[in-house]
């Protein structure tokens, strides 16, 4: 271990958000006190393609930045749930699509300086609309279908603000050549 935790206390606890204050001793002997960070459940996201190679995007309001933004589908992994199962569930809930194949393509830590979670990244292909959206009460999500070239342009123009989603799209695009 790179550091020794001297003390730790939660300053806020919620199902999807726990704020913690730690004091720790670095390997060099330097004491860091206080250090604040947020515990968030692990999550999943996927660049999802329909059977005719349209990228499935979702548009929704994000209160912390007070904007409606375009993203790719995804969400939190339920406690005890396998990430592969979680992405299939999230894709169906948010978009109503099921997929021929869902391929794990990586994992990322979105902001490890202040948030402790990882996001599992996927490429989903062969999507077919099979159900209506099954949204949580706090979700209002519009589904958008875009050609791959248009999504590439959106990525290059920084029109996809969610950084973990941009990374997923980048990695998924590089994998498409292998399929």
**Structure confidence by residue, pLDDT tens digits, 45-103:** 999 999 999 999 999 999 999 999 999 999 999 999 999 999 999 999 999 999 999 99
Sheet holding 3-14, edge to edge: 3-14, 17-26, 31-39
Residue 39 confidence (pLDDT): 93
d(CA 25, CA 5): 6
Whether the predicted pLDDT of 2 surpasses 90: no
Beta bridge partners of 61: 68
Q: Tell me whether residue 174 is exposed, middle or buried, using C-beta atoms within 10 angstroms of its C-beta: 0 to 12, 13 to 18, 19 or more.
A: exposed
Domain coordinates in residue numbering, the chain: 3-39, 43-176
Q: Is the dihedral of CA 133, 137, 140, 146 positive or negative?
A: negative
Q: Does domain 43-176 have CATH number 3.90.79.10?
A: yes
Contact 46, 72 (CB under 8 A): yes
The model's pTM is 0.92
d(CA 48, CA 122): 8
CA distances from 80 to 17, 74, 105, 139, 145 (A): 17, 17, 21, 23, 32
As a whole number, the mean pLDDT across the chain is 94
Q: What is the mean pLDDT of residues 7-21?
A: 91
């Amino acid at each position: 271990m790179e550091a020794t935790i001297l003390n730790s206390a939660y300053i806020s606890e919620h199902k999807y958000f726990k704020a913690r204050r730690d004091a720790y001793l670095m390997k060099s002997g330097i004491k860091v006190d206080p250090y604040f960070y947020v515990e968030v459940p692990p999550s999943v996201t996927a660049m999802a393609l329909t059977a005719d190679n349209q990228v499935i995007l979702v548009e929704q309001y994000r209160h912390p930045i007070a904007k409606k933004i375009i993203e790719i589908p995804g969400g939190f992994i339920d406690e005890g749930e396998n990430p592969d199962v979680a992405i299939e569930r999230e894709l169906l809930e948010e978009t109503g699509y099921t997929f021929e194949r869902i391929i794990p393509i990586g994992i990322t830590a979105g902001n490890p300086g202040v948030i402790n979670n990882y996001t599992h990244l996927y490429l989903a292909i062969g999507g077919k609309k099979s159900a209506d959206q099954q949204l949580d009460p706090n979700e209002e999500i519009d589904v958008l279908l875009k050609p791959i070239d248009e999504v590439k342009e959106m990525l290059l123009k920084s029109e996809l603000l969610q950084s973990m989603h941009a990374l997923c799209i980048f990695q998924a695009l590089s994998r498409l050549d292998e399929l």
